[in-house]
Amino acid sequence: MIDVELILLERQGERWFAWSGARVCAPSAAIAGLRPGTVVRARCEFLPQQGLTLREILSTLRPGGEDLPEQLRCYLEQNRHAHARQLLDDLEPERVRSDPDLLSCLVRLDLHQGKERSAVEGLRLLLRGEVAPVAYELVELAVMLSEAARGELVDDFAAWAARADLEPDNALLACLPKGRWTDRLLLGRFREQVGAGWETYEGNEAGRRELGELLAEIQRRELGEEALISRARALLDQMEAARLQRTRMHMMFAMAMDEAPKDMHPDPPYHLGGSAPSLSASDQIRAAIWCAEQVLDRAPDDTRGEIEQLIQRARGIVDGTAPAPPDLTPPTRAATTFNVAASALTGACLLKDNPSRAASSARQAVALAVRVLTARRPGPGRLPARKDGLTARELLSGLDVTLVQLEWKALAAKRVPPEAAARLEELVWRGDDEQGKPGHYVARLSDGTFGLLTKMKRRWRWFEGSRDDILATVSDHAFEEATKQLLTTRPASSLDGEVA
């Protein structure tokens, strides 16, 4: 006779599993291979309220439990770690070490419970065993390890990968440094990544980093064709230029660009050649109001009046001529003209108490405005696109100019002498200082000359003169960009002229 502990009755999927809270006695032949006190499972096909007799329990016992790994995984998915630990502790250690499924469950449990040292040893046994889990399960376990722990297992991962004859696209290769890849895997992955093209890498920082690592290792080993290496270099240069361009965009403009298809993006350079404009939260709300006005004609006639009121209230709050309304219907994320205006108004109401959230609402309004113009099919509160209507490209181009004008208007009011400010017409170029921040502004004056507002040793200085005089005054590091812009670019203007 042997004591067997059976616990609670529960259901897994379409099957009922019988457990009892008491210890019962059973012939040892019925549960051969189990140690005294082992928690075992009885599989049965009837409902719990019908009850189970000891005979029925014993008739359905499976010595050793062939569904035990399944039960362990279920416990782990349900975060019932204590139950999983009890099941594993009741098994002979040698049995757990020799069964890849049980050992995999033990490693996963150790990682969940913070026992990384034990998990590392268990994963090492898995990798060195004759029968290891499939690659995706190894990847799941490896991802849960710390970087230092993965480093300890590099040799074991490399040996397992060589035995398993992995394909170049296998996710397990992410656990290995490129220097430990075989030539076959390295070349296969390199050809795959280069052949993916620019669309795969646009905005994909991880992909850019991996391609760079692959190229460096290919060159170190002197592998691959020169044409393939040249294509990889060109891709990396293109990705680096796109990354730098993205870092120089204002967050509002970048979010708006993300909402538009690539073929609707305006051509660079953006922000008149400089980095992201420095805008206050109130100026960002003004940009959102401008966007709401641009998409107003996409609103149905029966709601246009209400939307115009939202826009006027938002402008009044920002300009300080109207109080914030006591009650406000919060906008949703649906791409409608009403939500564009409502998001701008929400930002205006938050301006005094929470400028950060106010700016966030303004950015949401601008993104919604682009979505209104790019929606393929009309929806509630939105009219279908018109062939003669505003396009997303035009809205983005106008937004770029609007952001720059708002920055320049605020800066000129503080830094340009009043007598010169009255003669300002168009801002034609803005550039960065040596720290990569906006520091140079060239504007056309009403008498045909130019003015330069530049930052010199942390102080703003104003100069006036001919185009050649201004170019001679620009700092050396910005001279080339300023010359190109002033010679080739016409003065910028927003879609409807002045920015309120």
421-448 tens-digit pLDDT: 999 988 999 988 878 888 899 999 999 8
Is the domain of 236 the same as that of 271?
A: no
Higher pLDDT, 135 or 254: 254
Is the domain of 336 the same as that of 447?
A: no
Q: Is 70 exposed, middle or buried (0-12, 13-18, 19+ CB in 10 A)?
A: middle
* Mean pLDDT to the nearest integer, 253-258: 93
- Helices within 65-153 (DSSP H only): 68-77, 81-89, 93-98, 100-112, 116-128, 135-143, 147-152
How much is the pLDDT for 222?
Answer: 87
Give the count of domains, the chain. 3
Looking at the domain assignment, is residue 29 inside a domain?
no
* Strand ranges inside 264-421, DSSP E: none
How much is the pLDDT for 401?
Answer: 93
Query: Could you give phi then psi for residue 192, rounded to 5 degrees?
Result: -65, -45
For residue 481, the number of C-alpha atoms closer than 13 Å in the C-beta half-sphere is 19
* Mean pLDDT to the nearest integer, 51-76: 56
Task: State what percent of residues in the chain have pLDDT above 90.
Answer: 27
Flag whether pLDDT at 107 surpasses 80.
yes
Per residue in 479-499, pLDDT (tens digit) is 888 887 777 644 444 444 344
pLDDT band for position 130 (50/70/90)? low
Is the domain of 338 the same as that of 417?
A: no
Flag whether pLDDT at 335 surpasses 80.
yes
Cβ burial 202-241 (10 Å sphere, 16+ → b, else e) = eeeeebbebbbebbebbeeeeebeeebbeebeebbeebee
Looking at the domain assignment, is residue 287 inside a domain?
yes
How much is the pLDDT for 68?
Answer: 73
Domain end residue (candidates: 400, 421, 454): 400
Flag whether pLDDT at 153 surpasses 70.
yes
Looking at the domain assignment, is residue 255 inside a domain?
no
Q: Give one DSSP letter per residue of 444-455, joined into a string.
A: EETTS-EEEEEE
Is the domain of 458 the same as that of 344?
A: no
Token pair for 146: 């710390």
* Strand ranges inside 263-315, DSSP E: none
Least confident span in 21-25, 120-124, 227-231, 322-326: 21-25
Rg of the chain, C-alpha, whole Å: 34
Is the domain of 375 the same as that of 272?
A: yes
Distance (Å, whole) CA 193 – CA 210: 9
The residues with which 443 forms a beta bridge, in sequence order, are 427, 451
How much is the pLDDT for 133?
Answer: 60
Higher pLDDT, 400 or 438: 400
Per residue in 193-206, pLDDT (tens digit) is 888 776 666 667 77
Token pair for 328: 């406000």
Helices 226-247 and 205-221: angle between axes, nearest 10 degrees: 150
How much is the pLDDT for 44?
Answer: 40
How much is the pLDDT for 23?
Answer: 39
Per residue in 131-145, pLDDT (tens digit) is 556 666 777 788 788
Query: Which range among 119-128, 155-164, 335-344 has the greatest average pLDDT?
Result: 335-344
Looking at the domain assignment, is residue 129 inside a domain?
no
Question: Domain range spanning residue 297?
Answer: 262-400
Least confident span in 26-35, 311-320, 354-363: 26-35
Residue type, 211: L
Looking at the domain assignment, is residue 88 inside a domain?
no
Mean pLDDT of the chain: 78
Identify the H or E element spanning 424.
strand 424-432
* Mean pLDDT to the nearest integer, 345-369: 94
pLDDT band for position 417 (50/70/90)? very high
Distance (Å, whole) CA 30 – CA 57: 10
Is the domain of 287 the same as that of 235?
A: no
Residue type, 492: A
Looking at the domain assignment, is residue 59 inside a domain?
no
How much is the pLDDT for 145?
Answer: 85
Report the side by side order of strands in the sheet with 10-12: 10-12, 15-18, 42-44
State the sign of the Cα–Cα–Cα–Cα dihedral 454, 459, 460, 466: negative
What does each C-alpha distance from 402 to 231, 394, 405, 492, 499 come to in angstroms? 38, 12, 5, 10, 7
Query: Which range among 118-127, 155-164, 201-210 has the greatest average pLDDT?
Result: 118-127
pLDDT band for position 80 (50/70/90)? confident
Is the domain of 346 the same as that of 476?
A: no
Token pair for 48: 């719990």
Distance (Å, whole) CA 127 – CA 160: 6
Per residue in 364-386, pLDDT (tens digit) is 999 999 999 987 655 555 545 55
Is the domain of 289 the same as that of 393?
A: yes
pLDDT band for position 231 (50/70/90)? confident
Looking at the domain assignment, is residue 347 inside a domain?
yes
Do β-strands 438-445 and 424-432 pair in parallel, antiparallel, or remain unpaired? antiparallel
Distance (Å, whole) CA 442 – CA 467: 10
* Mean pLDDT to the nearest integer, 157-167: 78
* Mean pLDDT to the nearest integer, 101-129: 87
Is the domain of 275 the same as that of 384?
A: yes
Looking at the domain assignment, is residue 117 inside a domain?
no
What does each C-alpha distance from 13 to 10, 16, 17, 75, 83 come to in angstroms? 10, 8, 10, 13, 18
Per residue in 447-482, pLDDT (tens digit) is 989 999 998 888 899 999 998 888 888 888 778 888
Higher pLDDT, 278 or 434: 278
If one counts every other C-beta atom within 10 angstroms of the C-beta of residue 478, the result is: 21
Higher pLDDT, 158 or 396: 396
Domain end residue (candidates: 247, 274, 298): 247
Is the domain of 475 the same as that of 427?
A: yes
* Mean pLDDT to the nearest integer, 98-102: 83
Domain end residue (candidates: 380, 400, 420): 400
Is the domain of 385 the same as that of 435?
A: no
Higher pLDDT, 43 or 267: 267
pLDDT band for position 263 (50/70/90)? confident
Q: Among candidates 249, 274, 268, which has minimal Cα distance to 427?
A: 274
Is the domain of 387 the same as that of 410?
A: no
CB 183 within 8 A of CB 223: yes
